[in-house]
A and B are shown apart, each in its own frame.
Chain A
Amino acid sequence: MPQALEGSQALAYAVALCRPQVVSAYPITPQTHIVENISKLVADGKFQCEFVSVESEFSAASVAFGAVMAGSRAYTASASQGILLMAEVLYNIAGTRVPLVMTCANRAVSAPLSIWNDQQDSMAVRDAGWIQLYCADNQEAVDTTIQAYLISERCELPVMVCVDGFTLTHTLEPLEIPSQEQVDGFLPPYHFARTLDPARPISSGTLVSPDHFSEARHSHHQALLKAAAEIIAADDAWAALSGRHYGGLLQQEGPEDATIGVLTMGSIFGTLAEAREEGNHAVRLIRLRAFRPFPVDALQAAAAGLKKLVVLERALSPGGGGILGSEVRAALSELEQPPAIYSYAVGLGGRDVPLSLLGAVLERIEERPGERFAIFDVEVEKLPHEDR
């Protein structure tokens, strides 16, 4: 029987089920409800952990890092400015190759100040060396959080579970919360091999000369590539337990013989899926669940036969264009007959992404063949004349 839960509340339950011993966080909209709910679980004695209410996101990530190094499973969560403030630590955590799970309640990055959803924050740290998984709905956010611990501990890599802020975190819907037995069976107790221990002292985080730095980076890169198999395995194993499956690295819907595809990440997918059914559009919808590692092979297979592929993303690189769009374009350029890529940013800073988007996009690519990049839902009349 599903429970009526707000996404953040469900995420707090999911985190508690994974039994991290240390949780550290600094509040930021729209992540706040997650850590508030965790605090309440701790206060009510329903979740045994050291909850460290730190003085900044920089310390939130640092405390979690220190906790992992001292041998505990740990958790943190943030968004937007918080992700950027902890960016230096995020690189450091990944470079040290430690297992850690965090939630990014995706939100736009200032300026201009916006508390609303887009994915600029996690995109800004895409090169930090974390595994990044993007969730389409709250059930997936719950299940992915649990899977993330397994993936993280198997790969000795940190995992960022990206959940669209407000759009998911503040939405109440029917959700299945797994039992403690299910999660315990899926996620065994873990011992980090490089734990700091007075009985077997090691030094971690040392200075590495140019003689060895490239090798460290190579191993880190390889570890991320190898993580793809663990992401698939974790999703399969969880499906066997729960009956819920998210496609591993990516998910597809729609007719196999479609020649037009629309690719996205995160919660836009559900809206596109309903739009496709409602409008009976002959398009193949592709959703990247894993952005790091970037699933080149799976993507090439999913895009086979497509003549046109529209990439919709909630972020952009000003002066460059689409971030996801560029990566998809590069990955598919290896195909013998790569589809024409249309890269669009949508839903920036919380702009509502309506059901009508899909139809509008399909019209647009007919009208403007070869359009390389645009912010799709920009309203021209609101722009100063010189920018139109």
Chain B
Amino acid sequence: MLNVRIHGRGGQGNVVAAYLLATAAIEKGLYAQAFPAFGAERRGAPVIAFVRLSQRPVRRRDQVRTPDYLIIQDQALLHVPGVLDGLAEEGRILINSGRSAEELEEEFSRPMTPIPATALAKEHLGRPVPNTALLAAFFTLTEVLPVEALVDSLAGRFKGKVLEKNQQLIAAAAGYFAVGAWNKEQQHAASA
């Protein structure tokens, strides 16, 4: 079972990101579960959503406390207490940031993988919604699902020009990383 926790802000499409991730997995024949840390938050407030991906039916309903992956939609959220809580030792952080991995690691004493998702979204969609770019990057880095799975599940939500723009955005975000980059690093580390 893979556990993912997504941090964002109200109005940023945090739940949508979790649902998209789980939907893509389910459509590829995996079992998955996605739910928000239900709150009464208004726009702009920090929000959390959870995703579990598994080869077997997911029956537990508790919140993800020890995620394997964190997806953070806004680098300012790193200053919110608890955002990094419970992340496994070898857990990975994908973050929406224009800063370099080195800068971030120096400031927060943890390795992080940044992608300027907002900038990419602005460029391709004309709107500052980072979630699709982050998911494209997540799929590429982890190889849990092929990036095409994300395109397929977006096709359920959008069509025509909007879908086309999203496809371009996904391609651009995926192009930021080598396929399976996180896995290769892990293998590299394990063999070292």
Contacts and interface: CB of A to CB of B under 8 A. Distances in A.
Touch between chains A and B, by CB atoms below 8 Å: yes
Interface of A: 2-4, 6, 29-30, 115-116, 137, 164, 166-168, 170-174, 267-268, 270-271, 273-275, 350, 352-355
A352 B62 contact: yes
Contacts of A166: 35-36, 38
B23 interface: yes
A270 B61 CA distance: 7
A116 B38 contact: yes
B31 A353 contact: no
Given A115-B38, A167-B35, A354-B62, 18 more contacts: A4-B32, A6-B19, A30-B38, A115-B40, A166-B38, A170-B35, A172-B22, A172-B23, A172-B34, A172-B35, A173-B26, A173-B32, A173-B33, A173-B34, A268-B61, A352-B62, A352-B63, A355-B60
Nearest to A115: B40
B59 interface: yes
A89 B161 CA distance: 50
A4 B61 contact: no
A171 B60 contact: no
B58 interface: yes
A172 B62 contact: no
B59 A170 contact: no
Contacts of B19: 4, 6, 172
Nearest to A139: B57
Nearest to B37: A352
A4 B62 contact: no
Contacts of B36: 166, 170
Nearest to A268: B61
Contact of A271 (B32, B35, B61): B61
9 contacts: A4-B19, A4-B27, A4-B32, A171-B35, A174-B31, A267-B61, A270-B59, A271-B60, A273-B59
B65 interface: yes
Interface string B64-103: 0100000000000000000000000000000000000000
Contacts of A354: 62-63, 65
- Going nearest first, the 8 A-B pairs with the smallest beta carbon separation are A270-B59, A4-B23, A4-B26, A166-B38, A171-B35, A274-B60, A172-B34, A271-B60
Contacts of A274: 59-60
B10 to A, nearest CB: 15
A350 B38 contact: yes
A270 B63 contact: no
A166 to B, nearest CB: 4
B62 A171 contact: no
Contact of A355 (B27, B32, B62): B62
A33 to B, nearest CB: 11
